[in-house]
Amino acid sequence: MFTKRKAVLFFSLLIYTTTVICDGAGVLPYVKDNAKVYFLLSEDQHHPGLWTDLGGRGRADEDTAAKEFAEEGGGIIVIGRKDPYKHRKDIRKKARKKIGKKQGIMRVKSSSPQRGTFIYKTYLMDVTSEVNKAGGKRKTVQRLNDNTKWVKKKIRDMKKSSKAPVRNKAKKYRAYAEKTDFVWVERQDLLNAAHTRGMKIKGKEPRNVLKRNIRNHVKLIQGL
């Protein structure tokens, strides 16, 4: 029998599924270098061959964006620490503070066969000072890729442990090893790729949701 209590539980689950599982948020870091603006794009293992921001599923808000930023390489960018899980709270705190400065928010409503209709927000984040301290754009990408390899090795080592708690902890590190590549893209190249079907940046296209977000916020991108 479909009681009132079951109905409440059903619709609560439906709302949770729609707002938490389907929606999402992320961060698109950028730097200003000699009158030009460059954006950091990344590729992850779930969408090989496609560039995207540092983001994922969850509520389309700043907390989700900060969490995803911390998991997908943000630690190297904002605090320079190697172990992203160990320093996750510090990374999120720093990211949340920078996101709170409202440097720009891109919001898009999209849909897919797997997720249905969903809202995705991308928060623009100026990391110029942090990247300069790290030695520049090329050095930052090198450190991001090296850190992903370090996390993957740590996971493999933890899985070999004879101690169950250590093996179980390896699962918590998985989210920090999803990225497979990073690249800095000049503003005009990113705008061109968002408006040109099939255009690739270093052999990969931006994901459709990122393209739509860029196309819907051209003035915001140009005004940075």
pLDDT in tens, 33-61: 999 999 999 999 988 999 999 998 888 88
CA distance 124 to 206: 16
CA distance 23 to 205: 22
| φ, ψ at 212 (rounded to 5°) | -65, -40
Tokens of 48: 């090989």
- Is the distance from CB of 194 to CB of 214 less than 8 angstroms? yes
Residue 140 lies in domain: 4-222
CA distance 108 to 46: 21
Three-class SS of residue 64?
A: helix
Q: Which of 72, 202, 204 is nearest to 147 (CA)?
A: 72
Q: What's the confidence (pLDDT) of residue 40?
A: 96
| φ, ψ at 206 (rounded to 5°) | -70, 150
Q: What is the CATH number of the domain that holds 209?
A: 3.90.79.10
199-218 confidence digits (pLDDT tens): 999 999 999 989 999 999 99
Model's pTM, two decimal places? Answer: 0.85
The strand pairing partners of 26, in sequence order, are 55, 122
What's the number of domains the chain is made of?
1
